[in-house]
Structures are given as C-alpha cells and as structure tokens.
Homo-oligomer: A and B are copies of this chain.
C-alpha cells in the first residue's frame, strides 16, 4: 500500500492507451518523465505534454505526446494521488512508458490492485469492489443491471437492513437476560423474538435463492432444442441466431465478442446447449441418439420441443418424464404445411411457427423469455450473483438456524448470543467488514484485470 503502482488500463490495439498511476508518489514520479511539473497540479485537471526518456538532457528522446489527468487524494478512484496518461495506442510506446515509470520508482500493479486500494481506503465496500469486475464483464442489459445495482450499494443496503434487525434481536435477548436475573420471573414470551428471527431467516433465504437466477443471467440461460429429425430444429436455431446477430452488430466496430449460439431477448442471454450437431447435415442428425437429447435436456433450464405433426401420447409422456422440472415450450413448426388444433399439453405452452417463413418467431421469443421466469429487475431488487456472497449467506443461515432452534428450545439468551454474533459476522464478510487477511483479499482480486 505504500508504494506507487502503474498499469495499462485499456486493451492493447486501440487508437488510445491509458496508463494509470496511483500512490503517494504518483505525481512526483510522473513529473520525472513528463515535460511539466505536476507535483503542484490542481485536482481534476488535464495537462498536455511529452513523455521523455531522459528529462535532464537538452534534447531528450520524446516517447509520446500525451494528455495527463491529475487526481488528488482522497477524491480519486483509489483514494490516493493518481494520474492517467492518455497515450497513442502503440504497444512500443505503452511498454516504454511503463518501463520509464518502473525505472523511476513505480511498481507494475497486480490484477485489481486499484480497486483493492479503493476498498482499503474506504472508497467502496467489498461487494461494490466485486461489482466493478462484474460491470466490466457485463455483456447484456441484465448482467449490467445486476452489476450496476451491486456497485451502487444494492446488496450493501440490504445487508445493512438485515444487520439492523439482527442487532434488534440481540438487544431484545439482552433485555430478556436482564429480566431473567430476577429469579422470580418466568422466561419472557419469545414469540416476538422467534418471529423476528424467522423474518430475518426468510430474507436471507430469499437472497440466497436469488443466486440461481443471478447465475443463470450471468452465464446465459441454457436452452435445449429437441425433436425428431427433419422437424426443422436447425432452421429454427439459425432463424433465432440470425435475427439476433443483426441487432448486435448494429453499431459498427464497437464489439468483437463472439456470440456463438447465444441470443439476447429483452436483455437476457439465452445459450443453446450442444447445438454443434444441429447445424450439421441431415445425415449426421440421424446419428444423434436419444442419449444426446436427454443430456441436453438435463443441462437446460428451458426445452424447445420442436414438432411438425401432432405428437402421440407416448411421445408426450416421454417428454414430460425427461423434462421434469424444466420449462418446456412445444414449438409447432411448419405452420404453412400443417395445422395443429387437436391437442394441448398441460403446463406446456404451444407456439405455432414457421421457422422457414419467419412466422411467429417473435411470439416464440416472448415465450422463451417468459419460460425463463426472470423476476423483473427493479432498482430495489437485489440479486446475488457472486459465489462468495452465496456461500456467506448459506453459512449465516446455518448460524441463524441454531439461534431459532435455541429460541424454540427455550435456551437462555447468553447461550444464543454466540450464534447471533456469528450470523452477523458472516453476513458482514460480504461487504468486507470482517475480512482483512491478505489471502482472502488476494483471492477476491486475483480475477480482476490488470489496470482496474
């Protein structure tokens, strides 16, 4: 924490490259290789000048014409004196500037070290720090919104509410303890305490449950396309993928993400499972056996069952069995050739489409989105997306369960206080209140990119 760090904060290969410097000596070190003295520069100002190899000599080698942004502690991202050098995006220049910074006293930053310093300096809590990495990785509206909500303190404020309720429970137990000193008094009525403990437990359970949704949104919701050969599965997949691709590449040159076999519906990513075979030739599809279908269904959350004629009862029973606990959509394809009106399947929505003629594909997409059962995300909703948070919630719940059992078993307050304290401490791991060991921090920040 005492040294001054530097790193490239942008990806290589652009018109611009940004090098970040942070630490007590940031402006002093930078001034040794910059043609202006920045040690007395005002905060939040921009300075034009040259990065030079040897400032002392009369005609030093100019490495680049740059703009330097100056930030002053504590009003910077890290909370330290910092600067950002906006260079031309040449790999030679960026390497050279980093080399000069290191020669003059900087150290190359570790992954996530800027954000770790921001956390250690109290600029954001640990769940917000983790949200920074999620925000950078966000690739659609839903992941963006979850990360932004977390960054803006969504989880933190939820936890602070839980903390208040747990403290209230603690003080009620202490009150009970005070009364129980009078040996002539019975144990207090614990209904209120039990109610409060169960309410907190419900909130924690709700948060923990949101992790499944959070993971699905983060990784894309898995969709299996199944059905007999020649029913039009590959045509349907191509139709779904193609429509989406056109939208994604709307703004030229701004994203190079490969979006193989995923589509985006209303900001949620849907990921097609194991579709490599589907777009092979018909002959190869023949070889895809029942095992492959079962495996795809098992990995999915949503099953698109494509048919081109009304199914037999046996076929329906097969799907109902195989797709237990999945959201199945029956896709009645080839609507131009066939009519479907003699059957319904309980709980399975039926969508009649023509993949070939692009009929009702919008309806199918709406049905897919509905089948995902994503709660509408509002600013007050909190969805847990981080495995570390989920783990802490589950452990907090275990401690709280012991409190609840103790209350029911009429254990005395002083026997419950340890578990109550553990519940509090475990919850506060999420925002970092109880975490200060380097090992834990290292594990959290090691997956960040360098430069953030």
Identify the A interface with B (CB < 8 A).
7-18, 44-48, 59, 61-65, 67, 69, 71, 84, 86, 88-96, 98-99, 102, 108, 132, 135-141, 143-145, 148, 151-152, 250-257, 379, 448-452
Complex: how many Å from CA A448 to CA B18?
Answer: 19
What secondary structure prevails in chain A residues at the interface with B? Answer: mixed
Contact status A90-B135, CB under 8 Å: yes
- Are A132 and B95 in touch, CB under 8 angstroms? no
Find out whether the CB atom of B9 lies under 8 angstroms from the CB atom of A144.
no
Specify which chain B residues have a CB less than 8 angstroms from the CB of A252 in the assembled complex.
Answer: 108, 450
Q: How far is the CA of A151 from the CA of B63 in the complex (A)?
A: 12
A12 neighbours in B (Cβ, 8 Å): 11, 254-257
Say yes or no: A136-B89 contact (C-beta < 8 A), given A99-B251, A148-B62, A254-B98: yes
The distance in angstroms between the C-alpha atoms of A254 and B65, with both chains bound, is 19
Q: A18-B16, A88-B135 are in contact. Are A8 and B253 (CB under 8 A)?
A: yes
Contact between chains at B16 and A92 (CB < 8 Å): no
Given contacts A12-B256, A89-B136, 17 further A-B contacts (CB under 8 A): A8-B254, A10-B10, A11-B12, A44-B45, A59-B379, A64-B148, A69-B69, A84-B86, A88-B132, A90-B137, A91-B255, A92-B138, A93-B135, A94-B255, A95-B251, A98-B254, A102-B251
15 A-B contacts (beta carbon < 8 Å): A9-B14, A9-B15, A10-B17, A16-B451, A44-B48, A46-B69, A62-B148, A84-B86, A89-B449, A92-B143, A94-B254, A95-B251, A96-B144, A99-B251, A252-B450
Shortest C-beta distance, A113 to chain B (Å), equals 11
| Whole-angstrom CA separation of A152 from B145 in the bound complex | 45
- When distances are taken between beta carbons in the complex, the residues of chain B under 8 Å from A136 are 15, 88-90
Q: Distance in Å from the Cβ of A47 to the closest Cβ of chain B?
A: 7
CB distance from A80 to the nearest CB of B (A): 16
Contacts of A46 in B (CB 8 A): 44-46, 69, 71
Indicate if the CB atoms of A11 and B10 lie closer than 8 Å: yes
> Across the interface, which residues of B come within 8 angstroms of A92, CB to CB?
138-141, 143-144
Give the Cβ gap from A331 to chain B, nearest Cβ, in Å. Answer: 29
Whether the Cβ atoms of A89 and B255 lie closer than 8 Å is no
CA distance A403 to B392 in the complex (A): 86
Assess whether A251 is in contact with B18, with CB atoms less than 8 Å apart: no
Q: Which residues of chain B come closer than 8 Å to A90, judged between CB atoms?
A: 135-139, 144
Query: B residues within 8 A CB of A61?
Result: 145
A63–B250 alpha-carbon span in the complex (Å): 18
Chain B residues within 8 Å of A67, by CB:
69
Bound-state CA distance A23–B81 (Å) is 32
Alpha-carbon gap, A17 to B89, bound state (A):
12
- Separation in Å of the A137 CB from the closest CB of chain B? 7
**Of B9, B17, B44, which contacts A47 at CB under 8 A?**
B44
| Residues of chain B contacted by A84 (CB below 8 angstroms) | 86
Nearest Cβ on chain B to A118's Cβ, whole angstroms:
12
- The answer, among B18, B47, B257, for a CB contact under 8 Å with A86, is B18
A257 and B9 alpha carbons, distance in the complex (Å): 17
A105 to B: closest C-beta gap in Å: 16
